């Protein structure tokens, strides 16, 4: 018997674990992993995992990223305890590898030998790499006009790449149609319960890197929200087990050009038609499939959702590189721009401890303009 099942975070209904892309049969929400028995943990850690045989997992050594104090940038933002967790130091250069390692491990356990994913960036590269490592054939659907630098990495790992003309939503529809026609598994980083669960170790590492003391705030760039949701689930487990005294405040940052979550959380009027191009490609998600869940978490943790403009993102990308030696994707820089707003608004105070993930490597993107 499996030690997990899949549960709906919205209405609570559950079903046996599988690799289907079907959401909750009652309300349609994407599902989460629910543990029926304790004991399975990621190798070398005590982080619960949905993987049935963790020692045989598909891994490239993801995780265990450094968390460094940003003294110089902290001084500019009047923050004494600003830390960056360098998630770009993962095997394909982004935090996505945490989620992919878990998703592909479970996929291999379910006997999957061919799968479909759609992405224009980090998730595509990550799934392409881990599928190669797992010996699973992959099809990655990408926007035909995606940046060449991103496509090049996705292609390098030998996936079958399917360029699709049209919006990001059209690309997803093409991937879904293909997986249904061919009877292949849809291993979506947006929908998979295993993917979000795989990012949870991020939170465990943060707490261990602060010698068991939780930071006061975590500030995330949020698109589909898999790291945000995973971190919340990990922190919730640690509160439940008494490892930390209470939940830190979690904040979500989006680009003003694509701000569905900020609008939903702050009751502002915004629709996908209001979206325009942003340099922060990793959070350019006009209709996140887990929007309800993210907004719900923000409410529970007393968090904030802030939008930042393009010049602010690019200027923060330069600061990070030039005064801290950290070459971040614009997406990651957006979180620091949001942090600046939160500091100005008094949500975060000078002596608070803050952690911001640097989710992707600047090398992966086009040259900043």
Contact residues: a second copy, CB under 8 A: 59-61, 64-68, 72, 86, 89-93, 128-133, 135, 152-153, 156-158, 318, 321-327, 361-364, 367-368
35 DSSP β-pair partners: 4
Shorter beta-carbon distance to a second copy: residue 92 or 120 = 92
* Closer residue to a second copy in complex, CB, 103/295: 103
Residue nearer to a second copy on the CB measure, 132 or 176: 132
Distance of closest approach, residue 150 Cβ to a second copy, in angstroms: 10
| Cβ nearer to a second copy, comparing 215 with 303 | 215
CB of 157 to a second copy, least distance (A): 5
Q: How far is the CB of 158 from a second copy (least distance, A)?
A: 3
Nearer to a second copy, 131 or 191 (CB): 131
Judge whether 95 and 123 are in contact, CB under 8 Å: no
Question: Closest separation between CB of residue 146 and a second copy, Å?
Answer: 15
Give min distance, CB of 59 to a second copy, in A: 7
CA distance 125 to 217: 30
Q: How far is the CB of 75 from a second copy (least distance, A)?
A: 11
Task: Kindly tell me which of 72 and 144 has the beta carbon lying closer to a second copy.
Answer: 72
């Amino acid at each position: 018997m499996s030690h997990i099942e899949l549960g709906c975070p919205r209405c609570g209904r559950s079903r046996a674990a599988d690799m289907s892309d079907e959401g909750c049969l009652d309300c349609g929400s994407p599902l989460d992993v629910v543990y029926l028995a304790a004991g399975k943990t990621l190798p070398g850690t005590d982080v619960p995992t949905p993987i049935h045989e963790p020692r045989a997992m598909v891994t490239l050594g993801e995780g265990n990223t450094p968390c460094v104090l940003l003294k110089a940038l902290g001084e500019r933002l009047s923050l004494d305890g600003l830390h960056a967790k360098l998630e770009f130091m993962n095997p394909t250069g982004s935090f996505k590898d945490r989620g992919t390692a878990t998703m592909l491990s479970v996929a291999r356990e379910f006997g999957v030998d061919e799968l479909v994913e759609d992405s224009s960036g980090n998730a595509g590269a990550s799934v392409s790499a881990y599928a190669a490592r797992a010996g699973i054939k992959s099809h990655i659907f990408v926007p035909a006009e995606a940046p060449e630098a991103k496509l090049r990495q996705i292609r390098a790992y030998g996936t079958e790449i399917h360029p699709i003309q049209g919006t990001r939503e059209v690309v997803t529809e093409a991937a879904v149609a293909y997986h249904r026609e061919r009877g292949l598994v849809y291993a979506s980083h947006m929908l998979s319960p295993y993917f979000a669960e795989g990012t949870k170790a991020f939170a465990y590492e943060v707490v261990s890197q602060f010698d068991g003391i939780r930071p006061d705030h975590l500030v995330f760039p949020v698109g589909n929200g898999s790291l945000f949701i995973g971190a919340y689930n990990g922190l919730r487990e640690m509160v439940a087990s008494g490892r930390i005294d209470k939940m830190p405040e979690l904040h979500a940052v989006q680009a003003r050009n694509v701000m569905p979550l900020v609008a939903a959380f702050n009751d502002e009027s915004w629709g996908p038609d209001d979206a325009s191009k942003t340099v922060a490609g990793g959070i350019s998600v006009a209709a996140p499939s887990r929007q309800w869940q993210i907004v719900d978490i923000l409410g529970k943790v007393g968090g904030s959702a802030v939008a930042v403009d393009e010049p602010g993102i690019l200027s923060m990308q330069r600061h990070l590189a030039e005064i801290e030696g950290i070459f971040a994707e614009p997406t990651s820089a957006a979180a620091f721009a949001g942090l600046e707003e939160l500091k100005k608004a008094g949500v975060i105070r000078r002596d608070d401890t803050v952690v911001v993930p640097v989710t992707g490597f600047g090398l992966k993107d086009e040259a900043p303009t």
